[in-house]
Amino acid sequence: MEVCVCVKRVPMVGGAIALTPDGQAVDTSMSGFTVSPHEECAVEEAVRITERHGGTVTVLTLGPPEAEQQLRDMLALGAGRAVLLATDGTERGPVATAAAITAAVRDRGFDLLLFGNEAADTGGYQVPVRVAHALGLPCVTGIKRLEVTPGAGAAGRLVAGREYRGSLESFELPLPAVVSVKEGINLPRYPSLPGRLRARRASVEVLDPGPAPAEGLRTERLRVPRAPASRARVLGSGAGAVPALVRVLDDLGVLR
């Protein structure tokens, strides 16, 4: 099984999100970076698939040269190869991103392309589907259970499941296929020490994705939603606050 996982470098935002003065981007001067949790799970899933059925996991990202770090993080989890489609850091929209990924994976003979369901930052919910259409592959999104049966020709297939109104709906797809997954499909491992050492030494293939095509959705500015003006009313500290807390719960009508 040759599996490709597409990941995205996103800022590691904590208690508050800050913007650059021009309102065009998230201020990342104080933050680290990570890949989206959905994508980390996609890498874990791919590693498990190849542990079971053999083959290699390739991680691919479109991003600035610094995104090499996120690729190495994923190599440490067990991916074997890394491809960086290096941009100048300018954000590319979903149409442009899908076009660049499509061109890069087209002739590499992958049996399975995994994505996160949506990027944590821009949340466009469409890159995997666009890539699938461009490659003429079947596709399903939002997956939380995946069972792969490798095989040549018609024998290769997968069964993918997700929640639908409290029940499980499942899809059967022939390979090669495109699947996007959600966090919860597995619990990603911690990188092992040998894994980390290997990741540090591994080479990353750097490709030029070319210029970005024009995007029909044009961002004008970003803004942080207005926060509620007031701070919390402090009911007290420690167990001494419990009577006040019970009164509040009672006033809110949730005590039976």
Partner 1 sequence: MTVLCLIETEPGGASEASLRALGMAAGLAERSGEALAAAWFGPPGAVPPGDLAARGTRLGYALAPAGPGGYAPRAWARALVHLSARLPDGAGAGPVSAVMAAATDRGSEVLAHAGAITGLPVAANCVAVTRAGPGELRLTRQRWAGSLLEDAVLRASPALLTVAADAVPPADAVPPADAVPPADAVPPADAVPPADAVPPADAVRPAGAVRGAGPSRGPGAQPEAAPAPGTAESVRVQVVEQAVEAADLAVRASESEQRRDGVSLATARVVVGGGRGVGGPEGFAVLEELASLLGGAVGVSRVVTSQGWRPHNQQVGQTGTKITPDVYLACGISGAIQHMAGCQGAKTIIAVNTDPGAPIVAKADYAVIGDLHEVLPALVAALRERAGGP
Q: Which of positions 104-133 make contact with partner 1 (CB under 8 A)?
A: 118, 120-126, 128-130, 132-133
Give the H/E segment covering residue 208.
none
Nearer to ligand FAD, 121 or 215 (CB): 121
Nearer to partner 1, 206 or 241 (CB): 241
The verdict on 211 binding partner 1 (CB under 8 A) reads no
Can you tell me the distance from the alpha carbon of 124 to that of 180, in angstroms, rounded to the nearest whole number? 13
Q: Which residues of 18-52 are buried (b: 16+ CB within 10 A; e: fewer)?
A: eeeeeeebbeeeeeebbbbebbbbbbbbbbbbbee
The verdict on 93 binding partner 1 (CB under 8 A) reads yes
- From partner 1, ligand FAD, none, interface partner of 54 (C-beta below 5 to 8 A by class): none
The verdict on 12 binding ligand FAD (CB under 6 A) reads yes
Handedness of CA 73, 12, 189, 141 (dihedral sign): negative
Structure-token pair, residue 162:
């997700």
Question: Nearest 5°: phi and psi at 68?
Answer: -55, -35
Nearer to ligand FAD, 90 or 237 (CB): 237
**In this structure, are residues 151 and 187 in contact, taking their beta carbons and an 8 Å threshold?**
no
The verdict on 87 binding ligand FAD (CB under 6 A) reads no
Q: Give the alpha-carbon dihedral of 112, 63, 11, 80, to 10 degrees.
A: 40
Spell out the residues 6+ positions from residue 223 whose beta carbon is closer than 8 angstroms to its own.
Answer: 19, 23
Nearer to ligand FAD, 62 or 173 (CB): 62
Question: Which window, 31-39, 102-110, 232-240, 241-249, contacts ligand FAD (CB under 6 A)?
Answer: 31-39
Q: Minimum Å distance from CB 246 to partner 1? A: 5
The verdict on 194 binding partner 1 (CB under 8 A) reads no
Nearer to ligand FAD, 14 or 211 (CB): 14
Q: Give residues 226-255 in contact with partner 1 (rule: CB under 8 A).
A: 226-228, 231-239, 241-243, 245-246, 248-249, 252-255
- From ligand FAD, partner 1, none, interface partner of 34 (C-beta below 5 to 8 A by class): ligand FAD
